[in-house]
Amino acid sequence: MAPRIDLTSFQYPVYDGDTFLTLYRERWARGGLDLGYSFGRVAEWRLGYEGGYLSLKSEIGSISELPKVAGTTGDVRMQFQYTTLDDPVIPHAGENVTFSTKYFHVNPGAPEGFPVSELKLQNFFQFTRRSTAFLNADGGSSYGFNAGIPAFQLGGGTRFVAYGTNELQTNQYVLGQVGYIRKLRNLPPVLGSTIDLLGVLEVGQTYQLPFGPKPPHVPGDVVGAFVVNTIFGPVEVGGAVGNYGHGKFFFQVGRIF
C-alpha cells in the first residue's frame, strides 16, 4: 500500500521554434493511494487512484492561443515495473521495464475522459570493468484524445537535455537513447562512490497539439557530462547540443536515468 501527497509549483519557458513566447507557472496539489503486489525483488504491480487541483497559466503577457486552465484532476492508474538493474543511480548491468496507463475522468481543459499510456525500456550492458553501454526507449500516447493540458512535457532533465524544461509539449511521443558510461575513479567512501563520464545520443518524434506552438517534429541531441555519485545523490555537470539550434551547459542534482 502506497499513499502519497504532492504539492508542486514550478515555472518553465514556452517557445514557438526558437522564439520565446512566455513563462508558464504550473501548480499542483494532489494525493493518491496505490494498492499492489511485489513479485520477489524484481517486479511489482500496482493499481490506484490520484486526484487534486491543477493550475496552469502564463505569468508574462497574454497570449490568446496558449491555454490558461485550472480545475480538478482525477484518474485511475495501473503500473507494472520489472527491474534487474544493479544500481538505482548509475546502473552498469540489467534492464528495467515500466508500463503505466491511466484513465482521466476529469482534467482541466479536457472535454471528456481519456486514457494515457507510457512505456519505458532500459538496457545496460557492462563489457569491461569500467565501461558500460546502454540502450533506452520511451514512448507515450493519449490515443488521439484531447488531454486538455498536454499529456507529456519533455525537454531538460533526463529526456531531450538540450531543450528547455518542458519545451516539448505533446500528447504523443517516441524517444530512443544510446549511451556510454566510463568509470573514471572511485571516491572515498565518506564522499560517495564514483566519478563517471557519460555520453548520450537522443533522437525522437513529437506530435502537434490541437492548440499552441508547434514542437520540433524530430528533436534530437548529443549529451556529454561528468557525474559525481555523492553520498547526497548524483551531481551532473555537462553540455548538450541539439538540432533546431538548441544547445546549453547544465548543472543538475538528482535523477540521471
- Domain boundaries along the sequence of the chain: 2-253
C-alpha 108/C-alpha 70 separation (Å) is 6
Beta-carbon-side half-sphere exposure of residue 90 (alpha carbons within 13 Å): 26
Question: What DSSP letter does each residue of 41-101 carry, written as one string?
Answer: TTEEEEEEEEEEEEEEEESSS--TTS--EEEEEEEEEEEEEEE--S-SSS--SEEEEEEEE
For residue 111, give Cα distances in angstroms to 63, 106, 107, 114, 148.
21, 9, 8, 9, 7
**Size of the chain in residues:** 257
* Mean of the per-residue pLDDT values of the chain: 90
Is residue 152 within 8 Å of 160, Cβ to Cβ?
no
Q: Per-residue pLDDT for 145 more than 60?
A: yes
Q: Per-residue pLDDT for 69 more than 80?
A: yes
Is residue 138 within 8 Å of 118, Cβ to Cβ?
yes
Predicted local confidence at residue 180, as pLDDT:
97
User: Which of the residue ranges 20-24, 48-52, 107-111, 213-217 would you say has the lowest mean pLDDT?
Assistant: 213-217
SS3 category, 132 = strand
CATH architecture of 2-253: Beta Barrel (2.40)
C-alpha 257/C-alpha 254 separation (Å) is 9
For residue 52, give Cα distances in angstroms to 108, 114, 228.
11, 17, 36
Q: Per-residue pLDDT for 193 more than 60?
A: yes
Q: Per-residue pLDDT for 138 more than 70?
A: yes
Interval 215-224 mean pLDDT = 87
Interval 122-150 mean pLDDT = 94
SS3 category, 244 = coil
Give the confidence band of 18 by pLDDT, cuts at 50, 70, 90. Answer: low
Interval 182-208 mean pLDDT = 93
Helices (H) and strands (E) in the chain, counts: 0, 14
Q: Per-residue pLDDT for 225 more than 60?
A: yes
Distance from chain centroid for Cα 236: 16
The pLDDT tens digits of the residues spanning 112-121 come to: 999 999 999 9
Beta-carbon-side half-sphere exposure of residue 124 (alpha carbons within 13 Å): 24
